[in-house]
Amino acid sequence: MPTDDEVPVVLLHGVGLDRTVWSRVEALLSRTASAIDLPGHGAQPPLTGPTDLAAMASDVLARMPAGQVHLVGFSLGSLVAQQIAIEEPTRVRSLTCVSSVCARTQEESAAVQGRLEGAESDFRGSMERALDRWFPEDEGDSETLRDETRPVLLANDPDSYRHAYAVFAAGDRELESKLNAISSPTLAITGELDPGSTPEMSERIANRIPDTRVAIVSGARHMLPVTHPEVLTDHLRALTNHTEGSR
């Protein structure tokens, strides 16, 4: 059984990305961290058919370090992390939901469904539109971040990406009624300007998961692990130190 300061951090990325999205955060963390590729992403085999959150969570659980972890999910990874926290509560010392969707409204669901349909008809164009949302051209180092992220997105098998995105598009509705079963201390953090994982959605998480703290990063958009790693790491450190200090 690890001591408190040996409990590792497990980092789950968003749809279309891979474990490297966490490289800046991993470099800043002072404890062991494991960034894991989601099914169908990075070094994992492409998804060859429809899947769901339960299957993705089971796959990730099999590759997580043994014992308790501080579980951190970003975007789709947050939905997978929530599923794990519901299914295996004793494995999750703390839960962090980064740029997470929750209980989308009808309008919000229609918007994400439109992006899924866009990926089905024009995969490469949908990747460029994602870069536009994440790194607007009028922001400082957007060109560098676009150039860094574009090859990761375009490395996806298009069919596999669409199977994963379908889980992202519907997973919040599947989880909504189950979130109150999560018992781990939880942080919901997102960017002030994130149009898809809005500050209101982080408040929705807090309204459903007991013992949740909300943090909104001023001026930030979706890609907090890339654009605001120091801020995100500070919040992660505060949560992990709090949960371990209270034991």
Cα 13 from Cα 73, distance rounded (Å):
6
Q: Which residue has the tokens 């040996």?
A: 6
For residue 193, what are its two tokens? 């300007």
For residue 1, what pLDDT is reported? 42
For residue 30, what are its two tokens? 């002072």
For residue 5, what pLDDT is reported? 62
Cα 247 from Cα 235, distance rounded (Å):
19
- If one counts the domains in the chain, the total is 1
pLDDT under 70 in the chain at which residues? 1-5, 244-247
Residue 161 belongs to domain with CATH number: 3.40.50.1820
Q: Render pLDDT for 98-122 as a digit per residue (tens, 0 to 9).
A: 999 999 999 999 999 999 999 999 9
Tell me which residue range forms the domain holding 17: 4-245
List b or e across 23-39, with b for residues whose CB sees 16 or more CB atoms inside 10 angstroms: ebbbeebeebbbbbbbb
For residue 241, what pLDDT is reported? 82
Q: Render pLDDT for 165-205 as a digit per residue (tens, 0 to 9).
A: 999 999 999 999 999 999 999 999 999 999 999 999 999 99
Contacts of 166 (CB under 8 A, 6+ apart): 50, 116
